[in-house]
Structures are given as C-alpha cells and as structure tokens.
C-alpha cells in the first residue's frame, strides 16, 4: 500500500499538541498522547517532530499568535495622540474576555521555557515582537517595560484566579508612560 498524501498532518499534530496541553497540561504532552489526539500513527508525530521540544516550539509559536491577533486587530497604534495606556489596557481586557483557557494555554507553554531551554527563543521572540510594535508609540526601553508589566498583570490574573481590572492596568501602564501619573 502506498503512502497516503496528507498535507495537513503536521498542522493537525500541532493542533492536537495544543489541545493535549490545554486538557492535561505540559506533563500530559507526549508523542503518544498527541498521536492519539490527532488520530495519526505515532511515527507521524516523530517524523514531523523528532523531539518533544520541537513539537512544543511549534505549539508555542502557534499559541503566541492569540495575543498578537488581538493586538493587530486593535486600533491602539493608529492615532499617535490616543491614550496608549488606555488602549493597551483595553487590548489586555479583550484578550482576557476571550476564551480564558486559551490565555492559560499560551502562558503554560510560555512558562514551560523555564525548564525547557529550546522554548526560550520562542518566548523571547514573542516579547521582542510585542516590544517592536510598542516602539511605534514609545522608546525601546519603555516598550520592554510595558511588555514586562503586561506579562506581570496577566500572570497575576491567571495565578490568583482573579478578574482582570482594566482600570488598574491602565493606571499602572500610564505610570510607565508618564512618570508621576
């Protein structure tokens, strides 16, 4: 029997890995669990992703697109006179207003870089990509500080199970943008 042509298989494996992490956490991720979720032979997962780290890199890259899409869809950067702190706080709110499990998944994969060095460049790309966008409205140092603050606020919300407070976020972001605000 000839090999079945399946051009979407690699993408289905990535999607399955994201679902596995969403349901079972990073600890539940294995080539075997992903193959079962994607309904593909185990050999397909190892063919496309030689190591689990390679699979996690692909999953992290794809999951990072969630916040990037929210940011890109916003009008925060269109008006250079608009209140950047308020706009960023609103964008964070829109991200949290979406499916919370998606936000949690993005951070679970992002934080996996603490123990998996192969993921660190992807996490750094995400931070740098966001900072590069923020430089459109501020300087590079402030842009990096804004990314760190938004990360911190997001982690606090996720780790405490609390609700996102847009006014608090706006106030804290404004302090970075306008010292003494």
Give CA–CA dist 167/157, Å, rounded.
14
Give CA–CA dist 46/119, Å, rounded.
18
- Residue 27, C-beta contacts closer than 8 angstroms, at least 6 positions apart: none
CATH number for the domain whose boundaries are 63-177: 1.10.357.10
Structure tokens at 7: 């051009």
Give CA–CA dist 136/181, Å, rounded.
21
Three-class DSSP category at 163: coil
**pLDDT for res 74:** 83
pLDDT, tens only, 118-162: 989 988 888 888 898 899 889 999 999 999 999 999 999 999 988
Average pLDDT for consecutive 10-residue bins of the chain (181 residues)? 71 93 90 95 93 92 79 82 93 87 83 89 88 90 95 94 94 88 57
Taking a C-beta distance cutoff of 8 angstroms, is the pair 134, 143 a contact? yes
Three-class DSSP category at 91: helix
CA-based radius of gyration for the chain: 19
Q: No. of H helices and E strands in the chain?
A: 9, 0
82-85: long-range contacts (C-beta < 8 A, 24 or more apart)? 83/174, 84/137, 84/138, 84/173, 84/177, 85/170, 85/171, 85/173, 85/174, 85/176, 85/177, 85/178, 85/181
**pLDDT for res 62:** 85
Give CA–CA dist 74/32, Å, rounded.
39
Give CA–CA dist 62/119, Å, rounded.
13
Three-class DSSP category at 25: coil
Q: What CATH superfamily is the domain 1-50?
A: Homeodomain-like (1.10.10.60)
Domain range annotation of the chain: 1-50, 63-177
């Amino acid at each position: 029997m000839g090999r079945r042509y399946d051009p979407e298989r690699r993408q289905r494996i990535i999607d399955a890995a994201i679902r596995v992490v969403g349901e079972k956490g990073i600890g539940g991720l294995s080539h075997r669990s992903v193959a079962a979720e994607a309904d593909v032979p185990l050999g397909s997962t190892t063919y496309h992703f030689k190591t689990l780290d390679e699979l996690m890199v692909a999953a992290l890259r794809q999951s990072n697109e969630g916040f990037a899409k929210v940011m890109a869809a916003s009008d925060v950067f269109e008006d250079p006179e608009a209140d950047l702190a308020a706009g960023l706080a609103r964008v964070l709110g829109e991200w949290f207003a979406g499916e919370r499990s998606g936000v949690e998944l993005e951070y679970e994969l992002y934080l996996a870089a603490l123990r998996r060095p192969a993921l660190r460049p992807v996490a750094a790309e995400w931070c740098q990509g966001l900072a590069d966008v923020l430089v459109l409205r501020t300087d590079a140092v402030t842009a990096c500080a804004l990314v760190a603050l938004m990360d911190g606020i997001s982690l606090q919300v996720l780790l405490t199970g609390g609700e996102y407070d847009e006014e608090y976020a706006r106030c804290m972001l404004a302090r970075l943008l306008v010292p003494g605000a």
